[in-house]
Structure 1
Amino acid sequence: MNRETTPRQKEPAANPRRHPRHQRRAAQHESAHSDAHPEPPPPPDLPLVPRSAPTLISTDAELHDLIAHLRTLDWFVFDSEFIGEASYHPRLCLIQVATPDRIALIDTLAELDSTPFWRLVAEASIEKVVHAGAQDVEPAFRYANAPPANIFDTQIAAGFAGMAFPASLSKLIQHALGVKLAKSFTFTDWSHRPLTRVQLRYAADDVRYLPALRAFLVERLESSGHAAWARAESEALCDASLHLFDAERDYLKVRGAGGLEPRGLAVLKALFGWRDRSARDADLPPRSFLRDEVLVDLARRPPKSVADLSRVKGLPRPVEAEHGEQIVALARKALEGPYPPALATPGDEPPDDRFRIDALWSLVETACFGRGIDPAVVGSRQDAASLFRALRDGNADHHRLMTGWRGEAVGRLVREVLAGRVQLRLGGGGESGLLFSAAATAP
Structure 2
Amino acid sequence: MTVHFHKEDLPAGVLAGDAPLAVDTETMGLITHRDRLCVVQISDGSGDEHLVRFGPDSSYDAPNLKALLADESRLKLYHFARFDLAAIEHYLGVVAAPVFCTKIASKLVRTYTDRHGLKNLVDEVLHENLSKQQQSSDWGGPDLNDAQREYAASDVRYLHRLREELVRRLEREGRLDIAQACFDFLPTRARLDIAGWPDHDIFSHS
Please give the TM-score of this superposition, normalised by the length of structure 2.
Answer: 0.82
Counterpart CA distance in 2 for 1:144 and 1:94 is 12
Tell which structure's C-alpha radius of gyration is larger. 1
Matching of residues 311-326 of structure 1 within 5 Å: none
Counterpart CA distance in 2 for 1:151 and 1:196 is 30
- Deviation sequence 1:181-238 (CA, Å, 0-9, x none): 2243111011112211111111111111111111111121223332121121122211
* Cα separation, partners in 2 of 1:64 and 1:74, compared to 1, 3 Å: same
Residue from 35, 59, 77 that aligns with 1:90? 35
Q: Does 1:151 align with 2:114?
A: no
Counterpart CA distance in 2 for 1:85 and 1:244 is 12
Is the contact made by 1:122 and 1:144 (CA closer than 8 Å) also made in structure 2?
Answer: no
Q: Does 1:192 align with 2:154?
A: no
* Cα separation, partners in 2 of 1:87 and 1:170, compared to 1, 3 Å: closer
* Cα separation, partners in 2 of 1:116 and 1:243, compared to 1, 3 Å: farther
Aligned twin of 1:171: 120
Aligned twin of 1:245: 195
Matching of residues 181-220 of structure 1 within 5 Å: 181-220=130-169
Higher strand proportion, which one? 2
Residue from 147, 153, 160 that aligns with 2:108? 160
**Secondary structure class of the residue paired with 1:65:** coil
* Cα separation, partners in 2 of 1:98 and 1:148, compared to 1, 3 Å: closer
Q: Does 1:108 align with 2:49?
A: no
Matching of residues 328-367 of structure 1 within 5 Å: none
Counterpart CA distance in 2 for 1:80 and 1:242 is 19
Higher helix proportion, which one? 1
Counterpart CA distance in 1 for 2:32 and 2:168 is 41
Q: Bigger shift: 109-118 or 172-181? A: 109-118
Residue from 109, 119, 122 that aligns with 2:70? 122
- Runs of 4+ aligned structure 1 residues displaced above 6 Å come to none
Counterpart CA distance in 2 for 1:74 and 1:167 is 25
Is the contact made by 1:158 and 1:165 (CA closer than 8 Å) also made in structure 2?
Answer: no
Is the contact made by 1:160 and 1:230 (CA closer than 8 Å) also made in structure 2?
Answer: yes
Matching of residues 17-56 of structure 1 within 5 Å: 52-56=1-5
Counterpart CA distance in 2 for 1:84 and 1:204 is 18
* Cα separation, partners in 2 of 1:114 and 1:243, compared to 1, 3 Å: farther
Amino acid at match of 1:137: L
Counterpart CA distance in 1 for 2:150 and 2:88 is 26
Aligned twin of 1:80: 25
Amino acid at match of 1:243: D
**Secondary structure class of the residue paired with 1:244:** helix
Counterpart CA distance in 2 for 1:85 and 1:174 is 25
Is the contact made by 1:156 and 1:166 (CA closer than 8 Å) also made in structure 2?
Answer: no
Unmatched runs of 5 consecutive residues or more in structure 2: none
Deviation at 1:146, TM superposition (A): 4.5
Aligned twin of 2:89: 141
Q: Does 1:224 align with 2:169?
A: no
* Cα separation, partners in 2 of 1:73 and 1:84, compared to 1, 3 Å: same
Counterpart CA distance in 1 for 2:2 and 2:68 is 24
Relative contact order, higher structure (CA 8 A, sep 6+): 2
* Cα separation, partners in 2 of 1:191 and 1:140, compared to 1, 3 Å: closer
- Deviation sequence 1:105-126 (CA, Å, 0-9, x none): 1112297733542343333211
